[in-house]
Structure formats: C-alpha cells, structure tokens
Amino acid sequence: MDRVLSKPGRDGTSAAAAPADAAAAEAGRREFRYSRGDFERVRALIHRRAGIALAPGKQDMVYSRLVRRLRHHGLRSFAEYLDLLERDGGDEWEAFTNALTTNLTDFFREAHHFDALRGLLGAQPASARLQIWSAAASTGEEPYSIAMTAVEHFGGFHAPVAVLATDIDTQVLDTARRGVYPAERLAKLGDERRRRFFLRGTGPNEGYCRVRDELRRLVEFRPLNLLDARWDLRGPFAAVFCRNVMIYFDKATQRAIVEKILPLLAPGGLFFAGHSESFLHAADLLKSCGRTTYRRAGEA
C-alpha cells in the first residue's frame, strides 16, 4: 500500500485530518444524533427491505430524508429510531421505505421506448387483449404515457389494453391514482395530447390538470415490492417497463428480478430498461433488440 504524506497544519495536525474534522463539526450542528454506524444500519435495513443498495457517500442524503420520521415520533437520535423500526416497525417500515426511495419521472420519458411499444401493438392480432406492466410506476407519468400510446394507436379509449402500474412507494401511488399534475409538467406533451387526455383545472384548481376518467380506467395501480417472494400477478404481459429501478439493486438482485419477470412476459414481448441500466451480466436471460429494449434470450 502506498503511504501518503500530508503537510502539517499550523497547529501541528495533518491536512488529512480536515475531512474528519469537518464531518465531526457537521454532526455537531445536526438536530439529531447520527453516526456512521447509524448510516450503516440504514443501508443494511433498506437493502434487506427493498433491495436498494445505498452508496457509501449517501450519508447526508439519508439524514435529510429521515429526519421527519424522527420528529414524527418525538425521538432524539437515529439509533432510537432504528431501534423502534426493528422492534415493532409495523406501518413505519412503509414510511421508512417511502422516505428513502427516489421518484424521478416524466411523461413519455425515453421516447424511443414508446415508439417500440407502438410497433409492438401494431404486430398483435386484431382480437388480442393486451396487458402491459409498469413495474416502477412512481407518480403515474409512465403508465399514463403507456395508456396514451395505446389510445393513439387504436384510435380511441376503447383500446384493448390494460396497464398494471405498481410501485413500492404507496405515497407516489396515491398521487398517481389521483392523476392531478401541475400544468407545467404537461408542457412537453403538446396541445393535442393535453386536450385529448387531460382536463384543465379552474378556480382553486387553476394551474393543475387532471387525467380524464376514460384514460384512468385503462390503468390499475397496486403496491408491489419487487423483492417480495411472491407477486400476485397474472401474465402474460406484452411488455414490461422496469425502468430506472434496477440501478438501485446489486447485480445478483437484478438477475433474480429478471428471472421472476420473464415467465410473465408473453412470447415476443418486450422488456424496457432505464437509460443507465445494462444487462450484460444476464445475457443468457435477455437479448438486446434496441436501445435499452430487450426480448427473452433465444427468441427471434
């Protein structure tokens, strides 16, 4: 191991001590007692609970996400909170998981996937009724984009498509079910889509838009933890959108999830991944057929 020599400071201490001193000073300014050991407990608990692999550098993020839970329970330290969680967490496990999950989404995010979905819909038999699964639905923009794509392809809200939208975070699912969004979130959709699929709020709801009931009826929202031993799902799914969630899992967990998804995927069905996700380690399971778009390995 190479040894690094640091220049002594004016008080005789080395400059290498500065980061540790800064961390200690920051800890002293915090409202609640929070140690590196507490952070490591959080990392272990969220990995066991939701499969999320928190990076070692996320210590400050964890503090900012969980302080509200400590205030809610009137606790003084993270150690007390984590003891409570492990002793009799109950509903608190859900609040803990919700606080630590990140939900970034947008309508028609990664537009090439929706182009591929249109092609898939066009290749189906005319009499087929299709199921599509949005496996990390967040606040609903993805499943509603899937439903809009189907309505546009089939020429009306009678589209023979059912979209299942799941997420581990129950709070974002509540937002998705309501289907109410600030008007600026719809800016990229264009006037035609906004008129066809949304209602503009007036009076106290001015500045907001709500998904039309005809579109909402094509989507079912349900909580689901991808790490659960059993999924109460019935395939086959013509397509599975599992985007920007695998990045939170280690490779072994990613593979285990893919192995559970594939039996639910219809022959010739598509698996859509996020832009920064790769499945080279699962090439025996998935075959690339486009940008972050896959089929079951062995299929033409």
Q: Which residues are catalytic?
A: 65, 167
* Whole-angstrom distance, CA of residue 16 vs CA of residue 4: 9
- CA-closest candidate to residue 221, choices 160, 114, 147, 111: 147
Partners of 288 in the beta sheet? 294
- CA-closest candidate to residue 145, choices 196, 108, 119: 108
C-alpha separations of 180 from 104, 139, 209 in Å:
16, 10, 6
User: Which spans in the chain are helix H?
Assistant: 18-29, 36-50, 59-73, 78-88, 92-100, 111-122, 141-154, 170-178, 191-197, 213-216, 251-261
Asked if residues 81 and 70 have their Cβ atoms less than 8 Å apart, the reply is yes
Q: Is 233 buried (19+), middle (13-18) or exposed (0-12) by CB count in 10 A? A: middle
> How many other C-beta atoms lie within 10 A of the C-beta of residue 146?
27
